[in-house]
Structure 1
Amino acid sequence: MEALREALRNPERVHAICEEYRAAAGVDRQHDMRDQIFGHRISCPLMALWSGTGAVATWYAEEGGPLVLWRQLADKLVGHAMPGGHLSPEENPTETAEELAEFFSDAASHSG
């Protein structure tokens, strides 16, 4: 968490984070819609992890959860809620690293 706090002391980094959020609400959505119109799908293995106690855990409940939405876009999807809040990777770095290591190991063994 201290590394995160230190990074956020840099105004250029804060600006970059804001630009990322701005793109997610704008141009990224336009690109996603275009991909859906043309039937483009994510064909590589994809893992979605989200906070089990954060907003994502409840925002998409009516649709069946985040994985239901991602399955509309991706062919090889795995994922689940993780312990922690909005910063769950920082709150649970060991569990996050283990999830990533297993995912990339499985993805590598199924490629080619």
Structure 2
Amino acid sequence: MGEENHADAVAAVTDPRTVRAMVEDYAASPHVDRAADEADRAAGRLVECPVLVGWSRHDDLEDLYGDPVAVWQPWCRDAVASAVIDSGHHMAEQAPEQLAATLARFLRG
């Protein structure tokens, strides 16, 4: 993560306003976000742009939710691209080069 990034993270999570915003974002998921998702589904709205679903190899995402591509595909007009990053939960900090290369390939099309 590096000393400067670590200092930024510590400053963020020790600021009560930041912590409140983080908690509220998670809390919106089963209520506000779900209602918006249900309205989009009922209206037949789909994601129209190319989609890349990336996740960490050494995290529990698949154990909790199943195949991430299978979760996202019904929401997307076109096929969903996928990438498994060889990291734990914090892929940007733990595998920045692999993540950057994966994103660059996807964005170049």
TM-score, normalising length from structure 2? Answer: 0.82
Paired residue for 1:69?
A: 71
Q: What is the identity percentage for the equivalent residue pairs of Structure 1 and Structure 2? A: 28
RMSD of the TM alignment (CA)? 1.6
Could you say what secondary structure the match of 2:84 adopts?
strand
Query: Secondary structure, in 3 states, of the residue corresponding to 1:86?
Result: coil
Superposition map of 1:46-61 within 5 A: 46-61=51-66
Q: Which runs of 5+ in 1 are unaligned?
A: 107-112
Gaps of 5+ in 2: none
Give the paired residue count. 103
Q: Cα deviations across residues 26-70 of structure 1 (Å, max 9, x unaligned)?
A: 211111111111111001111111122212121223xxx010110
- Segment of structure 1 superposing worse, 84-93 or 27-36: 84-93
- Structure (1 or 2) with the greater strand fraction: 1
Match of 1:28 in 2: 33
Give the TM-score, by structure 1 length. Answer: 0.80
Q: Which moved more, 1:83-92 or 1:66-75?
A: 83-92
